[in-house]
């Protein structure tokens, strides 16, 4: 039995509807899937129904963009309550930031004689969490770029003319936000960050797990993060980060997480819920790790690798 715990739908920058995604998962024989749309939990209600129909276990989740010490990182929040008022209020803010960022990107494109309109991007996105892939799609559909890669290369990649820096919540606040919504905080694709040095601080702030298996992790990267997760007593997760058809071929099911890790994640969640009162958004002060953990951490070799 296998799971894919990192998937996106039309509620952020994926192309599949929840129903299509559940159907693909059923065809692939997956036992469990999680929905991790960027800065939103809107798709979770439909996904719950779709998975029930497909006979697949569903884990509600989200993927928050955060930062720590100037490093961008993504935090997956598993088992968050998709009705949690504080979570919804904060997400509404993140979504506003995303929408304003789109307007700013479009303004910069206009300055470069690309007469794209923000409304065209919002119409294509048709969701509250629009992002750069939607601008890229609008550029292709408007005939300004031949394909999505060209849109990113010419305009949207970091330090290209239409790139706009993005406000990010602090990772420590993001962890607290996930916890108060009843969720577990897992660092997404740590291998893409190449900043393992921030992991101890995240652990001190209550990080619950590491996404050890990911499409862009090499075999050695997965091994490395598995070892790190075990050393630091963190949950182990994995997923394909499928965005449907928006990035070439759909990736769902290409990363197959053994179901035993889902079991462990569920028992960790049950433990947390039994000991931690919910609805308490406090950012825990960062406690230094104990000396032996730091020693073990330092003894691990950190191998950089290519995306």
Q: Which residue in the set 109, 241, 251, 297 belongs to the binding site for Zn ion (CB under 5 A)?
A: 241
Question: Between 114 and 153, how does the x/- string for binding to Zn ion read (CB under 5 A)?
Answer: ----------------------------------------
Residue 55: count other Cβ atoms within 10 Å of its Cβ. Answer: 10
Nearer to Zn ion, 9 or 180 (CB): 9
Nearer to Zn ion, 63 or 196 (CB): 63
How is 169-196 classified by DSSP, letter by letter?
Answer: EEHHHHHHHHHHTT-EEEE--GGGT--G
Cβ density class 204-222: b for 16+ within 10 Å, e for less: bbbbbbbbbbbeebeeebb
User: Of 180-188, 202-210, 282-290, 299-307, which segment contacts Zn ion by CB under 5 A?
Assistant: 180-188
User: Of 21-29, 53-61, 239-247, 264-272, which segment contacts Zn ion by CB under 5 A?
Assistant: 239-247
What are the distances in angstroms from CA 170 to CA 56, 74, 129, 195? 34, 11, 19, 16
Minimum distance, C-beta of residue 211 to Zn ion, in the bound complex (Å): 9
122 and 131 in contact (C-beta within 8 Å)?
no
> Helices 219-231 and 291-299 sit at what angle, rounded to 10 degrees?
170
Minimum distance, C-beta of residue 74 to Zn ion, in the bound complex (Å): 4
Report if residue 262 touches Zn ion, rule: CB under 5 A: no
Residues near 142 by Cβ (< 8 Å), separated by ≥ 6? 116, 120
Nearer to Zn ion, 158 or 301 (CB): 158
Nearer to Zn ion, 64 or 235 (CB): 64
Minimum distance, C-beta of residue 6 to Zn ion, in the bound complex (Å): 6
Q: Which residue in the set 74, 98, 179, 247 belongs to the binding site for Zn ion (CB under 5 A)?
A: 74
Minimum distance, C-beta of residue 299 to Zn ion, in the bound complex (Å): 28
CA dihedral angle for residue 241, residue 243, residue 247, residue 252, rounded to 10 degrees: 60
Nearer to Zn ion, 73 or 120 (CB): 73
Q: Which residue in the set 32, 102, 176, 188 belongs to the binding site for Zn ion (CB under 5 A)?
A: 188
Minimum distance, C-beta of residue 237 to Zn ion, in the bound complex (Å): 12
Q: Which residue is nearest to Zn ion (CB)?
A: 74
Q: Give bridge partners of residue 35 from the DSSP assignment.
A: 60
- What span, in angstroms and rounded, lies between the C-alpha atoms of 28 and 23? 9
Long-range contacts of 119-125 (CB under 8 A, 24+ apart): 125/13
Q: How many residues bind Zn ion (CB under 5 A)?
A: 4
Residues near 95 by Cβ (< 8 Å), separated by ≥ 6? 39, 40, 128, 129
Site for Zn ion in 43-72 (CB under 5 A): 63
- What span, in angstroms and rounded, lies between the C-alpha atoms of 182 and 278? 6
Nearer to Zn ion, 63 or 145 (CB): 63
**Which residue ranges make up the site for Zn ion (CB under 5 A)?**
63, 74, 188, 241
């Amino acid at each position: 039995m296998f799971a894919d715990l990192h998937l996106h739908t039309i509620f952020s920058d994926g192309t599949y509807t929840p129903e299509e995604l559940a159907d693909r998962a059923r065809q692939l024989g997956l036992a469990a899937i999680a929905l991790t749309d960027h800065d939103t939990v809107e798709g979770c209600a439909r996904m719950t129904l779709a998975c029930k129909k497909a006979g697949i276990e569903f884990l509600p989740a989200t993927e928050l963009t955060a930062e720590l010490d100037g490093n961008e990182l993504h935090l997956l929040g598993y088992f968050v309550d998709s009705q949690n008022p504080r979570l919804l209020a904060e997400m509404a803010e993140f979504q506003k930031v995303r929408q304003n960022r789109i307007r700013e990107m479009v303004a910069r494109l206009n300055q470069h004689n690309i007469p794209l309109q923000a409304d065209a991007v919002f119409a294509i996105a048709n969701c509250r969490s629009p992002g750069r892939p939607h601008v890229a799609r609008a550029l292709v559909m408007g005939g300004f770029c031949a394909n999505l890669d060209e849109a990113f290369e010419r305009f949207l990649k970091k330090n290209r003319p239409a790139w706009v820096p993005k406000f990010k919540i602090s990772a420590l606040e993001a962890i607290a936000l996930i916890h108060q919504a009843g969720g577990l905080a897992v660092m997404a694709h740590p291998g893409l960050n190449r900043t393992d040095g921030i992991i101890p601080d995240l652990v001190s702030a209550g990080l619950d797990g590491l996404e050890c298996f990911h499409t862009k992790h090499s075999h050695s990267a997965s091994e490395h993060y598995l070892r790190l997760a075990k050393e630091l007593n963190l949950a182990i997760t994995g997923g394909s980060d499928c965005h449907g058809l928006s990035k070439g071929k759909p990736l769902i099911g290409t990363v197959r997480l053994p179901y035993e890790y889902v079991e462990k994640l569920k028992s960790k969640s049950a433990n947390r819920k039994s000991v931690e009162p919910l609805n308490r958004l406090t950012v825990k002060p960062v406690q230094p790790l104990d000396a032996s953990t730091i020693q073990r951490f330092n003894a691990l070799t950190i191998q950089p690798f290519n995306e």
